[in-house]
Amino acid sequence: MDKEPIFDVHQLAHVEILTPNPEGTLWFFRDLLGMEVTKQEGQSVYMRAYEDWYHHTLKITEAKKPGLGHVAWRTSSPQALERRVKALEATGLGQGWIDGDLGHGPAYRFTTPDGHPMELLWEVEYYEPPEDKKTPLLNRPQKRPLRGVPVRRLDHVNLLASDVTVNKNFMMEHLGFRLREHIVMKDGTEAGAWISVSPLVHEIAFMRDGKGAKGRLHHVCYWYGYPHDLNNIADVFREVGIKIEAGPGKHGISQAMFMYVLEPGGNRVELFGDPGYLIFDPAWKPIRWTEETLEAGIIWYGSPLPAEFFLYGTPDVELEAEKAAAAD
């Protein structure tokens, strides 16, 4: 008999990325993607897109290397938070409570089996626009910025994993995520899994780390909702020297229009031009991609992804095999 579904985790609340180039990373998100600075404190900057309702959805923190600071999930209620904390404590991967941070209340910290830092929270601070940013469009938290080509909201995060299945199962069994699409190789191993707690195809994905490392960030994604904005921002990126790694194009998996770039701090950022498709079926049967069908899954149309797409993550790692090959 199938287990009763868990509906305690409600949405992706925010992502923290680390950068050795804080000014360059801030310039990228503020001036090119049109995001708003909510607060700057210490070594961190808190930012949000113009249709993000919370205090922030992105935290940028200065560090020696680029990478993932943490991923934060909001639960559906205070009681749901308590239930998930008990479940996480039983896994041995819980790290305990923090009092909170700018924009949110107490949070429970834990890691995935691969060591990706995460936290669960309930209490959040909502964005309050100043008078000059208030809009008569009452279901939008602020006016659309007249800066860069502004993104609308945080969409998802993609993490590299040494074992996709182990990390996917952890999120599904203890936090209630549902499997939407996955890649299954001929030997039965999973090369990628796209999971969500909402009608989105994914708020988080795990992809097999091509370098065999653990705990790395592949990318964070922001959403435009207007496909033509990908072409507009691509034009801007070319003029200001931002590296476009791939796209604009369309994935078969998720059906979303995409573009991947590397921000000045070294982290990969994906930009979604549209929402792809949404899932409303409560008995959804996961889409299974195989080696025979995968070409259409990765690129439905557009240029192929470069080899570095499957190898580069942050922080970048130099494995012993690479060192030995370089020495030869």
pLDDT in tens, 22-64: 999 999 999 999 999 999 999 999 999 999 999 999 999 999 9
Residue 128: pLDDT above 50? yes
**Model confidence at 2, in pLDDT bands (50, 70, 90)?**
low
Mean pLDDT of 7-28: 97
Per-residue pLDDT band for 325 (boundaries 50, 70, 90) equals low
Residue with the two structure tokens 């609308």: 152
C-alpha 71/C-alpha 66 separation (Å) is 15
Place of tokens 């573009």: 259
Q: Is the link from the previous residue into 145 a cis peptide, with omega within 30 of 0?
A: no
**pLDDT per residue as tens digits for the range 66-92:** 999 999 999 999 999 999 999 999 999
Output the pLDDT for position 1. 45
Q: Which pLDDT band holds residue 319 (cuts at 50, 70, 90)?
A: low
pLDDT for 318 equals 77
- CA atoms in the 13 A half-sphere facing the CB of 321: 4
- Whether 324 has a pLDDT exceeding 60, the answer reads no
Nearest by Cα to 180 from 277, 292, 295: 277
- Residue 321: is its pLDDT beyond 60? no
Please indicate whether residue 328 or residue 199 has the higher confidence score (pLDDT). Answer: 199
Q: Report how far residue 72's alpha carbon sits from residue 46's, in angstroms, rounded to the nearest whole number.
A: 14
What mean pLDDT, rounded, does the chain reach? 95
pLDDT score recorded for residue 322? 59
Backbone angles phi, psi at 140, to 5 degrees: -125, 130
Residue 275, pLDDT score: 78
For 141-154, write each residue's pLDDT tens digit.
Answer: 999 999 999 999 99
**Average pLDDT of span 156-178:** 98
Burial readout 131-140 (b: 16 or more C-beta within 10 A, e: otherwise) = eeeeeeeeee
Q: Of 6 and 124, which is predicted with more confidence?
A: 124
> What gap in Å lies between CA 228 and CA 257, rounded to an integer?
10
Residue 220 pLDDT more than 80?
yes
CA dist 270 → 68, 97, 207, 280 (Å): 15, 31, 15, 25
